[in-house]
Structure 1
């Protein structure tokens, strides 16, 4: 299976610009892209994040959160940080948009910004949650997918002219960018929830960095 593409900064900027002007829920789509590319989460993890995973009861942002074991792709808890200003700004704008439509809202306006803390962080354009589908392999192992959210990401990439783009592109791009910045495999692996450094190295290998860009930024 071919690796997901690495999305360069200019491509992501264009994708965000297009997402902000198209679709049934531009604020949600922009926030989805920022979270995907800014945290390295898996698609099903993103679908199962709750408001409580992002917000404190006071309504402030939970800067140090976790991908809980029950939603993690490998069943193991790992750290999740809401500290990137662009990611936080996009998610906050989306939650404000949600409240204007009363999607997932409660009567308790003083806590969790008036949103149901145990409800999904991201909802469909109609305010309904994304549904996961369970699949059982021949070995008996059960895996989950979220086809509706997967289609959202394919649309966001396609409409911006990014060929072969899908949700895993965010995870690989996240890893490659950290590696380009000089962070070691151990730290990248911890953020991604990989059980081995080999898995992280496999994701980073064949980084399609352009040689001209390396030379241009050397001094």
Structure 2
């Protein structure tokens, strides 16, 4: 079977059976396409022609491009999943990527805001303007719920339940979950949706159920959210930058610091595996050490 045809079959499998997001499928196709180009360069025209030695040469070529171990690991994971699919479909006899060791990853402690730092971010917007109300509602909700930025940009009006203070989000694999939010986020959201959002809709004659809109009355993109957050933090700290995930990290870290259990935080973050959530325990241990050293007379 042609290389391209197998790729298209796998793409359909990801979309239909795995419910993978367009973003995930894009990464898979890019990684597989890169390996496909390598095979063709080696004058190989079938996926089953790949063996352990060829893969080692492929890895050598990857490392020469100076990409990170994390990116290499992602590519290997993509190709391992692809070959699992080919093996299941009888298109290869075995998966050669089973014999390839993933690069050892350095554990990065997530960046997060301290409580006094994030409080400053809640004071920078002009709440008399539609965009100021939107920005305030957005940062309050990100901090209150730990949403991924892609989840934030796809929230519709009917996904928010103000009576109980929760939002329904669609996460990875199209899995849905309800996340609670507090009174500060509720107040900011109500003000934006009853005032600022209505102005953005009417001014541009827009017709959308998406909650967070740009100044044209159209749904905000992930890039737009990043730009807005960076503009907000520039008003507080001239040299700092922010990424939306930093607010997600802050949400998880602050909950654990205040005694929340790991399973509950896992559920709210939408992590499939507890190991993904456990990275935050390293942060809280550092926090506890700091508290101990500052408070204990014989520390």
Q: Same fold (TM over 0.5)?
A: yes
Q: Contact between 2:133 and 2:192, CA under 8 Å: does it hold in 1?
A: yes
Matched residue count? 186
- Asked if 1:157 is matched to 2:233, the reply is yes
Match in the other structure for 2:270: 193
**CA distance change for structure 1 residues 217 and 24 in 2, over 3 Å: closer, same or farther?**
farther
1:209 matched residue in structure 2 = 287
Instruction: Determine if the alignment matches structure 1 residue 85 to structure 2 residue 85.
Output: no
* Structure 1 position 23, deviation (Å): 8.7
Secondary structure in 2 matching 1:206: helix
Secondary structure in structure 2 of the residue aligned to 1:103: helix
- Structure 1 residues without counterparts, runs of 5 or longer: 106-114, 132-145
Normalised by the length of structure 2, the TM-score is 0.54
Change (3 A) 1:53 1:104: farther
- The aligned residue for residue 169 of structure 2 is 67
Secondary structure (helix, strand or coil) at the match of 2:147 reads coil
* Greater C-alpha radius of gyration: 2
Q: Which has the higher contact order (CA 8 A, sep 6+)?
A: 1
**Structure 2: which 5+ runs fail to align?**
1-69, 71-107
3-state SS of 2:287 partner? coil
Give the TM-score normalised by the residue count of structure 1: 0.72
Distance 1:99 1:29, change over 3 A: closer
Q: 1:128 to 1:175 in 2, by over 3 A?
A: same
Report if the CA contact (8 A) 1:5-1:165 is conserved: no
8 Å CA contact 2:125, 2:132 repeated in 1: yes
